[in-house]
Chains A and B, each alone.
Chain A
Amino acid sequence: MNPEVMVAPEINYLALLPMIIVGVAAVIGVIVETFVGRGARRPVQLVLAFGSLAAAFAALVWQSSTRALEVEGALAIDGPGVLLMGLVLLVAFVAAMLLAERQVDPAGDAFAPRASALPGSVDERELTKRGYLQTEVWPLFLFAVLGMLIFVTATNLLVMFVALEVMSLPLYLLAGMARRRRLLSQEAALKYFILGAFSSAFFLFGAALVYGFAGSVDFGAISDALAAKPGENTLIVIGLAMLAVGLLFKVGAVPFHQWVPDVYQGSPAPVTAFMGAAVKVAAFGAMLRVLYVALGGLRWEWEPLLWVIAGITVIVGSLVAIAQTDIKRMIAYSSIAQAGFILIGVSTATAEGLWASIFYLVAYSFTTLGIFAVISMVRDSGGEATRIEQWSGLGRTNPVIATAFAIFMLALAGIPLTSGFIAKFVVFEAALAVDAVALVIVGVIASVIAAFFYVRIIVVMFFRDPLEGAPRVAVPSAFTTLALSISVAVTVILGILPQPVLDLIERAGVFLR
């Protein structure tokens, strides 16, 4: 080709190293599935996954001073971007420990021995008996992480859409691969997929409309076009609304939340942990970037929209959670409410709001990982014991695990000396700084409602006697133990000494454009 017409894009590969490492590892993982013998696959995949995540994190730290638009302005390696990538990698690392656990379930790990075997079939029984493990989860997991890394740095609607799909498709699959209660799991996967596909379509349609207005899918260009063409906003406002639908779906905000409880309940606990923590980080990261960078000029349009959605989300999530009898569904509704609190931070459209939202994500993601680590350990003969009443007396029989879970509940309720309190504090502070008094009041009311069901779990665990045939707490391997310890440590330390993390976030500054 004529070099004068087509100039190869200039790419700073070093700055993109984290994505490259994770992406390459995912591809190698697929090849491993084909060429490595069944017995050796698991160790190889584990080394690949943990090794690539650690290496990617090291590369990120090494290149963390980069502040540039890379790949012809398609990716922004800026302060918040680096921070969010780092958070995604850390969360993925801890989630990987949960995925790697194979001691809590006597039959193997959390995944069906072969996803294609019909639930309840002879095939399935035979495979289980032979102790087959499904190692395809590892490349799928790494692809999802890759998607997240790109999602939080994309400064171009098309790249963002591709990243969205790279992130979501493996998750749809992972959700359907539970070893226990497989029909529930498959139903969850299908719901997640169909609703997710809808929301992706909305996102794409929105991107097309925005392109129609701005003549570009590039965030900087969209922002410039908004400044250049005041008053002819119809097209881009509709586009904004549709983009918002896609992103609000991913974070599980009301009224796009219906998938959350089913998917949380049906998926294997380690996958729910990963989804609940990392997808929230990625989706909020992307939402912040779209709203603050591309559509900052439209903030008068989207601010009231987000206020209303944030308010409804915290209230609905908290209220419906009260009525739940299944712990995973309760946590699912609680995650909806928590998303609402983060939206309060997002809706401020200030740097403080951006930082507050990121801090909230840090606090919330580790608490979520810990919650699902505990849930994966409390089991009866049928798998995870998720009916809340089954947890009666856990504080008597397993004080350590119950105390850890109580700490997570107190963190979600926003009790001081936990990370959740500082998170709520920074978000409310950011909101009051822009005089969003009503929103803070709504948030406070929702917190009180929410406290009721968080406290109820503590009541069940500590103040009730164990039931007949109560579930036992499986003794986990070092993987889950470590993941749980990290989650507790982060939850407590961020509650007592949040300053270093607050500094880190503040130093990251704002989005590049």
Chain B
Amino acid sequence: MGTDRALQDSLIRLLADAPFRDALMHVDEGVAYGGLAADQVEAIRAGDLRRVDRFGKFLARQYYHERLWHFHKYSRALAHWTGRSPDGLLLTPAFANLLPTIILGSRTTARDLARLVQAYMADARHAPPYAADLVRYENAQLVAEGGPRPPASAPPRARPQLATILNPDASIQRFAFDLTAVFKPLLAFEESGQHPDAPPEAPAADLTLVFVRSPRGRVTVLRWTDTIESLTAYLDGERPLSDAIDAASLPPRDGLEIATALLDAGVIIPA
């Protein structure tokens, strides 16, 4: 990689990684830092660091506004009744306090933000019983999207001899309501602008879902069924898929089809 391209990467990191930005501002003169040669450190510091810092914060607010807008659309639609939309968090002191720690796209920042969203939405007025579950569902997607982004790739196809494991980044969560029942009505009310007096109801249910990012880079959500649980329980990264399918008492063809779907979603990955 050329030297200018490498310096460009450092500039991108400077804007994306607030702790790195802060450290660079305070490093001693003439010292190399964070992969930057001393003269590159000086070149960056010779610029308008105040502008760089302001732009970094602006980008952080914009970056997470887009994510809250996308992942928390159901809670936003519910705001007609609760009076509180998740993106309102970005204007609070709690988010301002988070800014110096933010690394755009990192899973740690996504988790920190999810905690803030949960606290911010917790005392919303007139929230239906499922509102907390809904925020947890949306937060799980936010966190699943975080983390390093390798280039998108086609998922491997399940083969009997393939050894796999449950993706360590997959998050399995239980919910007390069938949230899927309110998704369409909430968005339809939002789009039409016509709202009934009360928000749609979600029936009580024992719902378990798994959240993960697929090899193609998309956040996927699947129902965590007994069949999937029994199959993945036997995946240890050493024994081939055919053994796990046998151990889970699944017909071989069905087992491979399920494994293909799980590889496609990123729930299981080659060992």
- Indicate whether A and B interact: no
Binding site for A on B (CB under 8 A): none
> A residues near B, CB below 8 A?
none
